Amino acid sequence: MEVWADLACAWAYVGRRRLEQARLGEDVEIVWRPYVIDPMAPVPSEPLEEELRDPVAEGALRALHPAPPPAEGRLEDGDRPRGAVWRANTFDAHRVVALAYGRGGAALQDAVVERILRAHFVEGSDIGDRATLVALAAEAGLDGMAEALDRGDGADEVRSELLRGKAEGVATSPTFAVGDTMVSGAQPAEVLADLVRHAAPRRELPDEVRWLRQAEALLDARDPLGALWILRPLLADHGDDPAVRLLAARAYFGSAQLGRARETLESLLERTPGDHYARFLLGRTLERANRLAEALPHLRLAAAMSPVPDHVDALDRVENRLADRLTV
């Protein structure tokens, strides 16, 4: 089971407790994956304003950690669950969690996740602070995090996993996935147990096919830079493949890297001049670069080969803009 969760998400902490209640058995490996609710969270962390807190989530946390009865008539502040008090950037915390799995497997990773969640939601610790993360990881049995964080270990892995989750449709924290089946939110224990029993097995695909599909999904989600990140190994090892080059060109175009898009499309059309979509995209690239006269023949060919609305509309638009220039 993969659990996609933000370590600053109260429902992730609640969801972890419900996983324990589900009693899935030792044959189920639970792996924590990154999700970021607040990508603009600052570094260093800032105090969390009261209006940004989720009262329903705070109530669920207090149900997990009820305050003990007062000793000698008074309750120490440290004995009361505090809830989150920091608006923390969790990228480094996700790196620590990823490194924990790589070094010690699911058991160590889960111990690190539990320690970070408890520190954030029960103890009011700042999990965006590296020194705090290093200490928490060591308490959970994971040493060497100060040097690892300074080296940048885990950063690429977390970025790739964040993009994979986005491409696969993860849209909330927590999301529980087994095979190709997902459920979102801090589901009751019986729902999580049913997920394990009835989930459809994941269809195994070669890495190259999986990366292509993820890049396509990210382009559909209007994340061209994320698509380019996913395409890196394919461009390195299969850069001459027409499907890879066309996806890269789409990502360059979507991220306004018009020079790279043009060069990629021109080289692609030298080999496959009959590719009407590549022809159309080259015309659009030249149009966006305000090179209308150069765009026109490509758009005419694209519209002739495949007179779909997008192709015809782009051709009409460029012809009208050129006509307006001549009139002026």
Residues 235 and 310 in one domain: yes
230, 250 contact by CB (below 8 A): no
Residues 262 and 146 in one domain: no
Residues 43 and 161 in one domain: yes
Residues 19 and 105 in one domain: yes
Q: What is the pLDDT of residue 67?
A: 47
Residues with Cβ within 8 Å of residue 123, at least 6 apart in sequence: 82
Confidence of residue 62 (pLDDT cuts 50, 70, 90): low
Total tally of structural domains belonging to the chain: 2
Instruction: Work out the average pLDDT over 65-93.
Output: 62
Helix (H, G, I), strand (E, B), or coil: what is residue 60? Answer: helix
d(CA 108, CA 194): 25
Answer yes or no: is pLDDT of 82 > 60. Answer: no
Q: What is the pLDDT of residue 59?
A: 62
d(CA 91, CA 95): 6
Residues 155 and 221 in one domain: no
Residues 10 and 71 in one domain: yes
Answer yes or no: is pLDDT of 269 > 80. Answer: yes
Residues 181 and 292 in one domain: no
CATH of the domain at 297: 1.25.40.10
Q: What is the CA radius of gyration of the chain?
A: 25
The model carries a pTM of 0.87
Residues 182 and 222 in one domain: no
Residues 265 and 146 in one domain: no
* Owning domain of residue 83: 2-198
Evaluated on CA atoms 89, 91, 92, 94, the torsion sign reads positive
Q: What is the pLDDT of residues 50-61, one digit of tens each?
A: 545 566 656 655
Last residue of a domain, one of 173, 198, 223: 198
Confidence of residue 14 (pLDDT cuts 50, 70, 90): very high
Residues 134 and 25 in one domain: yes
Residues 125 and 178 in one domain: yes
Closest by CA to 18, choosing from 161, 139, 189, is 189
Confidence of residue 203 (pLDDT cuts 50, 70, 90): confident
What does the buried/exposed string (b/e) look like for 97-119 if buried means 16 or more CB atoms within 10 Å of the residue's CB? bbbbbebbeeebbbbbbbbbbbb
CATH of the domain at 53: 3.40.30.10
Residues 192 and 80 in one domain: yes
Confidence of residue 48 (pLDDT cuts 50, 70, 90): confident
